[in-house]
Copies of this chain bind each other. A is one copy, B any other.
């Protein structure tokens, strides 16, 4: 005998068998009633009610592991983050996203499971950590540096996975992302509409899709050709974007500057400091725009022209994509649009002297 009641850790958790006993039916019947009777078997309305009552009485809730093991569904959706499930540094961006995820999941009758990638803050996720998500019917994946091999295994085995953020490398991996191209394009058009003819983009020196997409939108928004020097890549905005640099660009005829939003907000910060250091101010002497939202510490003043990333909408879109996958449907549009923000830092270029 294998410890009938001895080593039972799942104390108190009522099972279908107990519901069956209380209702005076078989466990199969309970499964049938509670499972929505997919087989279309006709059941006595009376039996149905007795089972339902017994289940409520006992507080029965199906065991997700058993449900899943039996090749059925859980109504559980996972969220897996490669850093920590709750990054502390970026809460202003992460929290709204989760709000969207949560609401959309709830609206569709799913509960959310948060899988923690790296428990002790160490970057590398534990070997088997990724596989835990299989407990859920499907899972969202967040983070820049994903363990491609682990994820590949999952998608190759047909596990429903959606990456948050554009991701073309891993073929077959579904994703949702922000339409940085269109949003950045719109910002540039706005500046040109104001009369600006030469605009410079300051971006950090990495190859994240979020960065390259912004640059692409920026470039396609520029009117003329010869925009080769319109983009400045710098790994250290604070020391490269100086008042002197700013003056030099102005002397060349540049009238507007666009910064990319990054985790740290370094580019925008540097731009503001340079303008300040040069004794200039926007939008009188030049125009400024930010491709995203400003860092929290300089959120209010001045409100940058640019766009807001609809993080909650992104979360909702991710869930929609995932549930579409689960339903075997073809996924809809993976890109969510940004809201243009006029702000107070952009205006017509100063009249030429």
A interface list, Cβ under 8 A from B: 8-13, 56, 59-66, 68-69, 71-74, 76, 84-86, 88, 91, 95-96, 98-99, 102-103, 105-107, 109, 111-116, 119-120, 128, 131-135, 153-154, 156-159
- Whether the Cβ atoms of A99 and B103 lie closer than 8 Å is no
| Listed A/B pairs (9) with beta-carbon separation below 8 Å | A12-B158, A61-B132, A61-B135, A64-B74, A68-B135, A86-B103, A109-B119, A111-B113, A114-B114
- Determine the distance from Cα of A133 to Cα of B134 in the docked complex, in whole angstroms: 20
Chain B residue nearest in CB terms to A85? B102
Whether the Cβ atoms of B74 and A63 lie closer than 8 Å is yes
Q: Shortest Cβ distance from A208 into chain B, in angstroms?
A: 24
Q: Which residues of B contact A102 (CB under 8 A)?
A: 84-86, 114, 116
Within 8 Å by CB of A71, from B9, B61, B88, lies B9
Q: How many copies does the complex hold?
A: 2
Inter-subunit contact B72/A8 (CB<8 Å)? yes
Q: Is the CB of A64 within 8 A of B134?
A: yes
Q: In the bound complex, do residue A59 and residue B113 qualify as a contact, i.e. CB atoms below 8 Å apart?
A: no
Given the complex, which residues of B lie within 8 Å of A114, measured CB to CB?
102, 111-114
Q: Considering the chains assembled together, what is the distance between the CA atoms of A5 and B159 in angstroms?
A: 18
Do A106 and B119 form a contact, CB below 8 Å, given A10-B71, A69-B65, A99-B88?
Answer: yes
Chain B min CB distance to A35 (Å): 12
| Chain B residues positioned under 8 Å from A71 (CB to CB) | 8-10
Residues of B within 8 A of A69 (CB): 63, 65-66, 69
In the complex, which residues of chain B have a beta carbon less than 8 angstroms from the beta carbon of A66? 65, 69
- What is the CA–CA distance of A128 and B57 in the complex, to the nearest angstrom? 12
Residues of the B chain whose Cβ atoms lie less than 8 Å from the Cβ of A11:
157-158
Is there an interface contact between A157 and B12, defined as CB atoms closer than 8 Å? yes
Knowing A10-B72, A11-B157, A86-B98, say if A61 contacts B113 (CB, 8 Å).
Answer: no
Q: How far is the CA of A185 from the CA of B56 in the complex (A)?
A: 47
In Å, the complex CA distance between A69 and B63 comes to 8
Most chain B beta carbons < 10 A, residue from A76, A106, A116 = A106
Alpha-carbon gap, A239 to B72, bound state (A): 58
Partner of A65, one of B59, B86, B135, B153: B135
Tell me, rounded to whole Å, the shortest Cβ–Cβ distance linking A191 to chain B. Answer: 30
Please name all residues of chain B whose beta carbon is closer than 8 Å to the beta carbon of A113 when the two chains form the complex: 76, 111-114
Nearest Cβ on chain B to A338's Cβ, whole angstroms:
19
Known: A63-B69, A85-B112. 6 other contacts (CB 8 A): A9-B73, A10-B72, A62-B135, A63-B135, A109-B119, A111-B116
User: Looking at A56, A105, A107, A135, which has the most chain B CB atoms within 10 Å of its CB?
Assistant: A135
In the complex the two chains form, what is the Cα distance from A106 to B156 in whole Å? Answer: 27
Evaluate contact between A135 and B64: CB separation under 8 angstroms.
yes
